[in-house]
């Protein structure tokens, strides 16, 4: 299997990154529970990429645009301040799915904020491959882009796994399960994983 060519991208690749992640998370149990309208996923990831992840320069994809990952460096707040784009997404979600989604959104935000580590770390917010390109080693290649930096800087890393299917991949790269909690009342589990830096190769 050919080693994927991973590139670091900027704001001019926002549309491509969000298209990849929207497809990758189309069948994700936690995303489907919190945001049942998959048609909103491109807008959701566009909002996150533009307002939080692109400005900090840790967004990657493979050169064939099959997979992508968005990280935050240590010391950067992972929360997104409420803005017009976020409010418009919520309105569209309410029109599609009704008011039942509001408690789910609130609960998911509360769980993730409460569980987020306070000590400095690299944060892997989203990683995924298009559904037709999974199982090709793309996720591993994307993870290594930043875990190498973690090891060089002696810095830990953190992620929330929104699907049990992805946990073995993260474990192969040194992430260990810290705990698990439903993303909201009656929702699927969110698994919190932490990686201590390894001896740099």
3-state secondary structure the chain: CCCCCEEECCHHHHHHHHHHHHHHCCCCHHHHHHCCCHHHHHHHHHHHHHHHHHHHCCEEEECCCCEEEEEECCCCCCCCCCCHHHHHHHHHHHHHHCCCHHHHHHHHHHHHHHHCCCCCCEEEEEEEECHHHCCCCHHHHHHHHHHHHHHHHCCCEEEEECCHHHHHHHHHCCCEEEEEEECCCCCCEEEEEEECCCCCC
Query: 156 or 78: which carries more pLDDT confidence?
Result: 156
Mean pLDDT within 162-167: 95
The pLDDT of residue 107 is above 90: yes
Average pLDDT over residues 57-69: 94
Higher per-residue pLDDT: 99 or 57: 99
pLDDT band at 30 (very low <50, low <70, confident <90, very high): very high
Distance between CA 66 and CA 38 in Å, rounded?
19
Q: Average of pLDDT values for 129-158?
A: 94
**pLDDT > 80? residue 83:** no
Higher pLDDT, 126 or 199: 126
Confidence of residue 201 (pLDDT cuts 50, 70, 90): low
Q: What's the pLDDT score for residue 87? A: 73
Q: How far apart are CA 52 and CA 32, in angstroms?
A: 22
Rounded to the nearest integer, the mean pLDDT of the chain is 91
- The crossing angle, in degrees rounded to 10, of helices 41-48 and 14-24 is 130
Q: Is the pLDDT of residue 188 over 70?
A: yes
Domain boundaries, the chain: 6-195
Determine the pLDDT at residue 65: 95
Q: Quick one: average pLDDT of 4-32?
A: 95
Query: What is the predicted pLDDT for the residue at 160?
Result: 97
Of all residues in the chain, what percent carry a pLDDT higher than 90? 71
Domain 6-195 is found in CATH 3.40.630.30: yes
Q: Which of 8-17, 73-82, 110-119 has the lowest mean pLDDT?
A: 73-82
């Amino acid at each position: 299997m050919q080693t994927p060519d991973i590139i670091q991208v900027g704001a001019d690749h926002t549309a491509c990154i969000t298209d990849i992640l929207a497809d990758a998370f189309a069948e994700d149990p936690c995303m489907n529970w919190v945001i049942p309208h998959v048609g909103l996923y491109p807008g959701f990831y566009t909002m996150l990429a533009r307002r939080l992840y692109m400005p900090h320069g840790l967004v990657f994809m493979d050169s064939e645009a099959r997979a992508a990952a968005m990280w935050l460096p240590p010391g950067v707040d992972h929360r997104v301040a409420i803005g017009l784009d976020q409010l418009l997404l919520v309105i569209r979600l309410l029109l599609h799915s009704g008011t039942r989604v509001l408690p789910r959104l609130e609960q998911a935000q509360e769980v993730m904020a409460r569980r987020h580590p306070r000590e400095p770390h690299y944060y892997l917010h989203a990683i995924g491959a298009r559904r037709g390109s999974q199982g090709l080693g793309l996720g591993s290649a994307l993870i290594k882009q930043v875990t190498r930096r973690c090891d060089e800087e002696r810095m830990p890393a953190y992620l929330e796994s929104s699907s049990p299917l992805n946990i073995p991949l993260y474990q192969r790269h040194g992430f260990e399960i810290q705990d698990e909690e439903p993303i909201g009342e009656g929702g699927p589990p969110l698994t919190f994983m932490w990686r201590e830096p390894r001896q740099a190769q």
